[in-house]
């Protein structure tokens, strides 16, 4: 083992045993190295084996159904990690190798303050007393840029934002100054500005502490700005490995080329986004023409929102309360067959706008004229007739699909409630046709949501909306948590449906590259207010508001050569 190599993985084979004893290969004999003081990115779609690799290194895979080939080796500074047990294994975790998980809220203990959780790590691995450990925890929160660290150390996880929770996880991970930090999708579903801050923080900490970092992601755009070396995985195998410059400038494997091209780009808007299969076919990918976007003076306006406002009462003290103005005086128009993108950071009010329009929140002011009728002033009975015409697709399809319903029940129940179809057999036939339209086989009707991938579940959620033949779809972060390749498939599907049915979309997202690809106009929100609005091309070319410029500057642009 080279002295410049910190971790060496050789012939790592991992299988999982099913309920009937059958084995499924997750890793098929992979090999790669992590040099000292460098960042290695492990890239691939869901199911490629990235997270299994990191969990195998940390020995966090469930022992009861995991089979690791005896010939597999994971060597860390001369020690075989796969042979460690008990106290020796616990000592290694957290002290020599630390890990940041994708979802901080599920990793942090909700009943302990964040300061106590960081202090526990220091007491366990560094031998500090409680008082000194808590003091060091505050210093670590300062180091990761958390505002008012002494106050935050006494807060519980639910009292912090997603970006703040991730900073706490980073503070906990670097508490004992590990030699290797594993970051498993640490910025997925975070705002672009918070994402950039977290990546910059990791880069700064890596240089300051001289750590090696294993950065796991599906987004090559992030990799280009953060990593030194790249390992590309698919189906449990390594397809390509090399320096960032080599992978970005001269990718050799079709799969790597596909990952680089699936993500929307700010400088082009193809009629159809590339997907993985386009690059795996003989002949490769042929780029289609460009799509022209924008509102026209002759467009039929079907939704006219005027001075929309929404406030919430926030408890303050034992008996007091104050008003929080989530949406303040928002106005816009949506034509038939067009898309209005609503962008902004978490807390900007964009999701509240969508939920208020479908009356999941009660508006505190303004109008929403749908074909001239005010949706917000209708009685519940009147609105029932309009509910089918304006539908919403949520970010997390697994949370919005009933896990106890089959796909058939999920699709036919809305039809039954709104009197669509005379008998169940007719509704089932309509459900089959919709599944075919969103690219899922008819046999899916008898299956449950947990049997599908994230992208497939989102297709089911879209099919459910289409059962009611809506005119407006509100897409609330509906592709933000998907792999870039699956994201491209869903965006292509939404575009095809819009072209075919003249659907109108309110596309709510923090991902400005995706919004640019799909939107005719863009509305930029900050702290409940509209800061800028206009044609998407004009706003992206010459943003007028400083806030919009800040959002655009945060978009990962991929690898750029370093200045001499």
Distances (CA, A) of 124 to 87, 94, 190: 11, 9, 31
Domain boundaries, the chain: 1-96+179-252, 106-177, 301-553
Residue 93: closest CA among 107, 76, 105, 110: 76
Q: Of all residues in the chain, what percent are helix, strand and coil, respectively (each to 5)?
A: 40, 25, 35
Least confident interval from 24-38, 77-91, 519-533: 77-91
Which band of pLDDT confidence, cut at 50, 70 and 90, is reported for residue 561? very low
pLDDT digits (tens, 9 = 90+) for 459-507: 899 999 989 889 999 999 888 777 888 888 889 999 999 999 999 999 9
**Phi/psi class of residue 84: alpha, beta or left (left: φ > 0; alpha: ψ in -120 to 50)?**
beta
Least confident interval from 198-202, 218-222, 268-272, 510-514: 218-222
Q: How far apart are CA 236 and CA 238, in angstroms?
A: 7
Mean pLDDT over the full length of the chain? 89
Of the options 3.40.50.300, 3.30.930.10, 1.10.10.60, 3.50.50.60, the CATH number for the domain spanning 1-96+179-252: 3.40.50.300
Give the CATH architecture of domain 301-553.
3-Layer(aba) Sandwich (3.40)
pLDDT for residue 563: 38
Which band of pLDDT confidence, cut at 50, 70 and 90, is reported for residue 326? very high
Q: How far apart are CA 80 and CA 162, in angstroms?
A: 36
pLDDT digits (tens, 9 = 90+) for 425-445: 999 999 999 998 888 888 899
301-553 has the same fold as 1-96+179-252: yes
Q: How far apart are CA 314 and CA 266, in angstroms?
A: 39
Are residues 476 and 189 in contact, defined by beta-carbon separation less than 8 angstroms? no
Higher pLDDT, 183 or 225: 183
pLDDT for residue 373: 95
Examine the pLDDT at 183 and tell me if it is beyond 80: yes
Helical segments of 175-329, H only = 192-209, 220-226, 244-249, 254-262, 276-280
Q: How far apart are CA 300 and CA 395, in angstroms?
A: 29
pLDDT for residue 27: 95
**Phi/psi class of residue 17: alpha, beta or left (left: φ > 0; alpha: ψ in -120 to 50)?**
beta
pLDDT for residue 525: 95
Q: Which residue has the tokens 């509209």?
A: 530
Are residues 197 and 145 in contact, defined by beta-carbon separation less than 8 angstroms? yes
pLDDT digits (tens, 9 = 90+) for 18-68: 878 888 999 999 999 999 999 999 999 888 899 899 999 999 999 889 999
Least confident interval from 162-176, 518-532, 533-547: 162-176
The average pLDDT across 100-122 equals 88
Strands 180-184 and 504-509: unpaired
Examine the pLDDT at 318 and tell me if it is beyond 80: no
pLDDT for residue 287: 81
Partner residues linked to 524 by β-bridges: 343, 532
Least confident interval from 234-238, 250-254, 451-455: 451-455
Helical segments of 468-543, H only = 484-501, 512-518, 536-541
pLDDT for residue 564: 32
pLDDT for residue 189: 63
pLDDT for residue 562: 44
Sheet with strand 339-343: strands edge to edge: 390-393, 472-476, 504-509, 339-343, 521-526, 529-535
pLDDT digits (tens, 9 = 90+) for 372-415: 999 999 999 999 889 889 999 987 777 889 999 999 999 999 99
Which band of pLDDT confidence, cut at 50, 70 and 90, is reported for residue 235? very high
Q: Which residue has the tokens 């309509």?
A: 430
DSSP-derived secondary structure letter, 72: -
């Amino acid at each position: 083992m080279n002295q410049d190599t910190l971790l060496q993985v050789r012939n790592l084979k991992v299988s999982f045993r099913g309920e009937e004893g059958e084995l499924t290969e997750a890793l098929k004999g992979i090999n790669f190295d992590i040099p000292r003081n460098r960042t290695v990115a492990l890239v691939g779609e869901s199911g490629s084996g990235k997270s299994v690799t990191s969990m195998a290194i940390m020995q966090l895979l469930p022992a009861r159904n995991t089979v690791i080939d005896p010939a597999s080796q994971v060597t860390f500074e001369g020690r075989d990690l796969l042979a460690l047990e008990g106290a020796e294994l616990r000592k290694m975790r957290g002290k020599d190798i630390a890990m940041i998980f994708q979802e901080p809220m599920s990793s942090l203990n909700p009943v302990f303050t964040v300061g106590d959780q960081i202090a526990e790590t220091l007491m366990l691995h560094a031998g500090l007393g409680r008082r000194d450990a808590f003091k060091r925890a505050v210093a670590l929160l300062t180091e990761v840029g958390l505002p008012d660290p002494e106050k935050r150390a006494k807060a519980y996880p639910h009292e912090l934002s997603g970006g703040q929770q991730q900073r706490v996880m980073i503070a906990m991970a670097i508490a004992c100054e590990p030699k290797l930090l594993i970051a498993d999708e640490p910025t997925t579903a975070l705002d672009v500005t918070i994402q950039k801050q977290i990546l910059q923080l990791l880069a700064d900490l890596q240089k300051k502490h001289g750590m090696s970092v294993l950065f796991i992601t599906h987004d090559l755009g992030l990799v280009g700005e953060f990593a030194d070396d790249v390992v590309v995985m698919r189906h449990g195998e390594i397809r390509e490995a090399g320096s960032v410059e080599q992978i970005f400038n001269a990718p050799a494997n079709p799969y790597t080329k596909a990952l680089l091209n699936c993500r929307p780009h700010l400088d082009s808007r193809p009629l159809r986004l590339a997907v993985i299969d386009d690059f795996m076919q003989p002949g490769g990918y042929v780029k289609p023409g460009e799509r022209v976007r924008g509102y026209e003076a002759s467009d039929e306006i079907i939704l006219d929102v005027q001075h929309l406002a929404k406030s919430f009462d926030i408890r303050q003290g034992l008996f007091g309360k104050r008003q929080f103005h989530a949406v303040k005086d928002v106005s816009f128009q949506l034509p038939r067959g067009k898309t209005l993108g609503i962008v902004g950071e978490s807390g900007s009010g964009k999701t509240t706008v969508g939920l208020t329009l479908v009356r999941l929140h009660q508006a505190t002011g303004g109008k929403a004229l749908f074909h001239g009728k005010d949706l917000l002033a209708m009685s519940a009975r009147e609105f029932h007739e309009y509910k089918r015409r304006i539908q919403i697709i949520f970010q997390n399809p697994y949370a919005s699909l009933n896990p106890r319903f089959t796909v058939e029940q999920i699709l036919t129940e809305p039809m039954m409630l709104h009197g669509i179809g005379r008998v169940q057999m007719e509704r089932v036939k309509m459900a089959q046709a919709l599944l075919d339209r969103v690219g899922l086989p008819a046999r899916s009707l008898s299956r449950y949501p947990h049997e599908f991938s994230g992208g497939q579940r989102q297709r089911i959620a879209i099919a459910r909306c289409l059962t009611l033949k809506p005119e407006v779809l509100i897409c609330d972060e509906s592709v933000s948590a998907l792999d870039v390749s699956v994201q491209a498939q869903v965006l292509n599907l939404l575009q095809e449906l819009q072209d075919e049915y003249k659907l109108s979309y309110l596309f709510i997202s923090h991902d400005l590259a995706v919004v640019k690809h799909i939107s005719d106009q863009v509305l930029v929100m900050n702290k409940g207010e509209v800061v800028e609005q206009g044609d998407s091309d004009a706003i992206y070319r010459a943003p007028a508001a400083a806030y919009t410029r800040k959002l655009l500057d945060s978009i990962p642009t991929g690898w750029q050569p370093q200045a001499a």
